[in-house]
């Protein structure tokens, strides 16, 4: 598979190989939220005798944004969405979860599911909203003690926000479950970094 991906960077290839060979590559919960990303190639690292420091040159906001998408694409050529798009989908996931009174831990779990699919290169323009929606739904079911009408309310909200049909969502829920190899219960070290960032923002 990797041989057919001439542009794939080493890291990209490893991620693809990892998702094929099981779970050989650890999921990194800090990768996609890394605040250093937008700086990309404008970043300079200066090494002094006893410490290391990073100097960020001044760049126009528009250049910064362009650079961020480009750096991301170079590093992860197998991911077919821009970093901005991935982040805006996550904001939507958080926003609607809050409106449905889901806990930050639920949002954190949904983020982990979602980012794993992103990093596996499974998302594209067509399925990205269904993916985001299915991740929220699965996280809500596994982490909250939802009543039947609350599940219905959440599905209504997902349908309204992401503009898909609930039948497609229910079908996609299973697809996502399989892609995640049924691993819905997550180790704390994958969830906690997201939880910390989310609760700091409240």
Ligand X SMILES: *[C@@H]1O[C@H](CO)[C@@H](O)[C@H](O)[C@H]1NC(C)=O
Binding site for ligand X (CB under 6 A): 65-66, 69, 82, 84-85, 95, 98-99
Q: How far is the CB of 125 from ligand X (least distance, A)?
A: 10
- Shortest reach from residue 10's CB to ligand X, in Å: 24
Q: Closest Cα partner for 172 from 115, 98, 114, 88?
A: 114
The Cα–Cα gap between 164 and 167 comes to 9
Give the nearer residue to ligand X in terms of CB position, either 154 or 180: 154
* Residue 173 Cβ vs ligand X, minimum distance, rounded to whole Å: 23
Closer of 43 and 65 to ligand X (Cβ): 65
Nearer to ligand X, 99 or 181 (CB): 99
Closest CB to ligand X among residues 38, 186: 38
CB of 128 vs ligand X, minimal distance in Å: 11
Nearest in space to 175 (alpha carbons), one of 130, 141, 118: 130
Considering the complex, state which of residue 20 and residue 99 has its C-beta at the smaller distance from ligand X.
99
Contacts of 136 (CB under 8 A, 6+ apart): 93, 96, 97, 102, 106, 107, 110, 154, 158
Cβ at position 102, least distance to ligand X in Å: 11
């Amino acid at each position: 598979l990797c041989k057919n991906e001439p542009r794939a960077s080493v890291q990209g290839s490893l991620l693809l190989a990892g998702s094929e060979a099981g779970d050989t590559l650890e999921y990194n919960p800090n990768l996609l939220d890394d605040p250093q990303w937008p700086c990309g190639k404008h970043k300079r690292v200066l090494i002094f005798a006893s410490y290391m420091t990073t100097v960020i040159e001044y760049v126009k906001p528009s250049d910064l944004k362009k650079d961020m998408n480009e750096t991301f694409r170079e590093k992860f050529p197998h991911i077919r969405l821009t970093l901005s798009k991935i982040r805006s989908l996550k904001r939507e996931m958080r926003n609607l979860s809050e409106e449905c009174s889901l806990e930050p831990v639920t949002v954190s779990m949904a983020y982990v599911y979602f980012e794993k699919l992103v990093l596996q290169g499974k998302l594209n323009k067509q399925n990205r909203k269904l993916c985001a929606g299915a991740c929220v739904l699965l996280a809500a079911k596994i982490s909250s003690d939802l009543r039947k009408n609350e599940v219905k309310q959440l599905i209504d909200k997902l349908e309204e926000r992401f503009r898909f049909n609930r039948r497609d969502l229910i079908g996609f829920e299973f697809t996502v479950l399989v892609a995640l190899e049924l691993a819905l219960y997550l180790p704390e070290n994958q969830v906690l970094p997201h939880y910390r960032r989310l609760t700091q923002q409240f």
